[in-house]
Structure 1
Amino acid sequence: MSEENIEDNRKLCIEVIEGIEGTINRGAAAAQQELNWGMQKIGKALYDVLPGTDLTKIQMVSHADTMGRKISTLVVHAVNLARNTLILAKTAYGDRVQPKQIDRVPLCLACADMGNYSEGLFSEISESASNLRDLKDLASTKSSTTTEMIDICCKLVQRAHDLEKNVVTENKWEGDENIPLGHLRGIVGYTYDILRTIDRKIGTTFQEQLEKYLWEANSYLDVAETLLERVNDFPDLPPTEDNARQATTYLGQAIDLLENVSEFMERASDFVGTLP
């Protein structure tokens, strides 16, 4: 490959990564807009249920409102991590690369994998927004002890589980360096893939520095899986006051999970943003 072709390839790869970044930003903005609509509905539902005496229903609606806000914050940190990772990838085609170095590792492909995967995350956010709107509609006519209200709370818990896996990793990190690219999935998993590809390209050790976050991520996956197992049992249980309160408790635990994951993603994003 001639020096001119290498330079053209370098510029093209940077352009491709910038295109991926733009696509992620637009997808996130659209998902946030839909989520905001769902949250606006829930906010109005709070006005409707507060004069009532069904305290569990009030808590269900209030938890749903809180969950929407936690999801919104989580999206911001997830997109920031993706953006910082892609910015770092662009530097691998910049001054740190010798002019005649051939791009033997498909870094652009690793970035494209992250961009493609993020579409699933944005779909999950849309599902969450839909569930919030459904809860608002149900809360206007149903009591907390109805099957419909209990079921929608369980669906929101399931959304928290799915978001955790989409944002962080779908599979546990076991420290095996020989596993195929993309094995972890999730935004953090694809961040790992990109950092590993950068390391192979320019001789850095970013991958090793990220591994402490991967070990930590296992604990969030454990919590998400446990919550999913618990709410999956609810369709077979009678719609009683105790079960309504229990579903509300699980919704509160899902909020805690999202808050912890959001804080984790903020730290991971800051870490990648400080890499040289």
Structure 2
Amino acid sequence: MISTSFSLACDWLPPIIGESSTGAGTIGETSGGSEGSASSSTSDGTEDPDLTTGEDTDPAASVGEPPPGCLPLDQPFVGDVDIDGPGDVAQLAGYSRISGHLAIWGPGIGSLEPLYCLKKVNQLTLGGGDLTSLHGLENLEVITTAAELGMNSELVDFQGLNGLVQAQAIHIYKNPKLTSLDGLGGVVSLPSAISVAENDNLQSLDALTSLSHVGVFHVRSNASLVELDLPALSSIGASLEVFGNPSLPSCDAHALVPLVAVAQGACILDNLPDGCADTCW
């Protein structure tokens, strides 16, 4: 059913940016009858200056035309929406834009194919369930603020998000069967952050083939991660944090240090020892 409130059903969030949600709308209604219901904040509760908060008000920015038969971008679903069953997905069929927070959370949702028209959302949370595929989201190009992709018990990659080119931040955490980030190769810049944590079978970040700039780069406690391999990455605007990855050679992380902006910091700790010393500055 479509829920009237949404609370992220996990006890852990990436330490860079937490996420607060004030409620999800009913299909066709605004969330709480007001604008600006979705927001993002830092782990200490302060507003993150790099994330746009509130609802998306610029429907056409950086987005191509919807597929034939879909609603135009200026006729969005208005507000936040919480999907927790297959019937909810079907009710969003035809919308090319959601002005608020789209939360797809919990088991038994089934296929995302009814979301084929979707081009743009303000914020995306996807997890806590047993989806085996993200097919149906191929046309999603823009997430105005952040994407949270966590606690998906069956996903092995993010194929289905291949059309995504723009977001402020992406957080990927606690996906136990995830082996690669395939599907995120179109993302060029994440001005706020990328965080990748506690994905036990993830082996590489090499699927991020287009990523050239990030704000915070946070990679933590990924047991099988053996390489970073980000050939397009040319700048880290805030901090570099790589720690607790027991299979990742420490020198791989040290190779990214020259990309960190002047006067910002790096913390590289407790990875696979290989001659490069642990450091925090």
Bigger radius of gyration among the two: 1
Q: Compare the two structures and name the one with the higher helix fraction.
A: 1
Q: Which structure is higher in strand share?
A: 2
